[in-house]
Amino acid sequence: MSDLIRSTSTWWAQSSKHARRTAIGTTAIVLVLGLITWTVWVSPSGPVSTAVSEALGVTPPAAKKVSATELQTKLTAAQKQVWALQGKLDSSSAQAGSRAEEIAKLKQQIASLQSDLGAAKSAAAGSAAAAAQAAAAGKKGGSGSGSGTGGSGSGSDGAHGGNAAAPNTGPSKDPVTTEPISTPSKAQVLAQQSRWYGLYTTQAPFNWSEYDRVSQEVGKATNMVGFFQGFDQDFNQTAVQRSWANGRLPMMTWETVPAKTGNDQAFVPGYTNQDVVSGKFDAYLTKYAQDLKANGMPLVIRLDHEMNGSWYNWSEGTKQQNAAGSYVAMWQHVWNVFQANGANDYVIWNWSPSRIDKLGNPKYQTLDYMRQYYPGAQYVDWVGMSGYYRTATEQPTFQTTFGATLAQIRKIAPGKGIVLNEIGATETGGTVTDSQKSQWITSLFDALADPANRDIIGFAYFSQVATTIVDGTRTTNDWRLDSRADSLATFVKGIARNDIDYDLQEVSK
């Protein structure tokens, strides 16, 4: 791939040019808020001017009538600019600690402006009430009982701030900027020659703080971000827009169960593969597809991953009450609904089984068994897999974790780009300077440099502490990239290699 690396002029993959744009964006935000603040100070009827006049014992200038509606309009316009610029600033905030401080100051200024708006609305309501009373009673007076609410211009983080909502809590209620966010087309995403590097953190893409902290430690920005949704959640425009506003391809794992379903619940009544195929969810799917199309931004959908295991509701087995062939029928049905609504112009469908040599039952490890889950080349854009190193007794190598599964995927879906969709290594021990996790990470990057793996177009690392229950066994693993100093140092060295076809923005602490 090295001879086909994409130019850093392609904006959506993080590059060093983002640093310059960040500076421009910061300056623009400061200028916008500075202008508004100056207007408040010099306004003859503003609270600052009035307070100064009273303190000096002079008559304040004649009030210039500015309606609450006009003030609201100006504030809303400014807020939209701030959201748009701050969205780009968030992804680059890891470049310098001062960025976070600047954003905090900007939020304080917005809150102050909203307070002025509330006062203006309160005064306007009071004047209206007084006028009404005077007209009714035929005399001068009124109680000025109108209440100011602070207006509809939100002072919270909004669509590009630090909303703390976790991925599986449903669509964000935060406002979404109307400022246009430039994105590549689906075709451009599929044609990108450099690789994708993504992370899963606890709250991204709804809160970038942990994500950016890890990026600071690694020294490279990602160009992809992973999150999860359930089949009881509407299309999350906020998540997709926030991802692209930060230059990251959103990769959503979509599970055909309610979002709060436990990962040890192998059967969920009402959510079988046949329930989907029967059309029970067609109204939901149709609205989802239409909303996705209206948003107009590419989205990777990893639909019902790890289907070849026995722990999820969509796998084919007696306890799931799913017949053989029902998974493919379910996938094709969802794809067809999206196709009928024009959404497939934006969706990159990603088929992602689990590591086969850890499935237990030898039947599950055969090529024929995995093949029965493949929807067909027409219905799949990318293929991939989940693969974790979690057992101290096995060799911490790329081949051990991924080799057997990749061999089958390549036979089933020849020519498809492969994403290692969900990977990680737990801390299992080893020396202080060279743990088994560190060795596994070294092996990962060595494999990416191997020409035999040119079809692996990227990976997404699961940088979280997670507890899983598989076949009744409860296990907690620390998958985080910075779980130990040597593990982090090894990853930093690996992702910076110039022989693995990555084109990523550098991030400084």
Confirm whether 500 is domain-assigned.
no
Tell me how far apart the alpha carbons of residues 190 and 186 are, in angstroms, rounded to a whole number. Answer: 6
Catalytic-role residue among 255, 316, 394, 422: 422
The fraction of the chain above a pLDDT of 70, given in percent, is 63
> Which contiguous run of DSSP H or E holds residue 461?
strand 456-462
Tell me how far apart the alpha carbons of residues 402 and 391 are, in angstroms, rounded to a whole number. Answer: 14
Cβ atoms 443, 397 nearer than 8 A = yes
Segments forming the whole domain that contains residue 279: 181-495
Cβ atoms 82, 106 nearer than 8 A = yes
Are residues 116 and 256 part of one domain?
A: no
Identify whether 102 is a catalytic site residue. Answer: no
Are residues 187 and 118 part of one domain?
A: no
Average pLDDT across the chain, whole number:
77
* Domain finish residue from 116, 137, 158: 137
Are residues 475 and 329 part of one domain?
A: yes
Confirm whether 459 is domain-assigned.
yes
Are residues 350 and 439 part of one domain?
A: yes
CATH code: domain of residue 245: 3.20.20.80
Confirm whether 170 is domain-assigned.
no
As beta bridge partners, residue 197 has 459
Confidence of residue 474 (pLDDT cuts 50, 70, 90): confident
Q: How many domains does the chain have?
A: 2
Are residues 252 and 120 part of one domain?
A: no
Catalytic-role residue among 217, 255, 306, 506: 306
Are residues 185 and 122 part of one domain?
A: no
Closest CA to 200 of 482, 14, 464: 464
Are residues 127 and 222 part of one domain?
A: no
Are residues 77 and 223 part of one domain?
A: no
Confirm whether 193 is domain-assigned.
yes
Strand blocks (E) in 244-312: 249-255, 299-303
Are residues 213 and 295 part of one domain?
A: yes
User: Of 142-156, 252-266, 493-507, which gets the smallest average pLDDT?
Assistant: 142-156
* Domain finish residue from 137, 162, 194: 137
Identify whether 306 is a catalytic site residue. Answer: yes
Cβ atoms 302, 254 nearer than 8 A = yes
Confirm whether 360 is domain-assigned.
yes
pLDDT, tens only, 83-104 = 444 444 443 443 333 444 545 5
**What pTM was estimated for this model as a whole?**
0.69
Are residues 241 and 123 part of one domain?
A: no
Confirm whether 156 is domain-assigned.
no
User: Of 4-13, 33-42, 203-212, 385-394, which gets the smallest average pLDDT?
Assistant: 4-13
Token pair, residue 369, equals: 């068994």
Confirm whether 452 is domain-assigned.
yes
Are residues 197 and 97 part of one domain?
A: no
pLDDT, tens only, 256-302 = 999 999 887 999 999 999 999 999 999 999 999 999 999 999 999 99
Are residues 350 and 206 part of one domain?
A: yes
- Checking if the pLDDT of 119 tops 80, the result is no
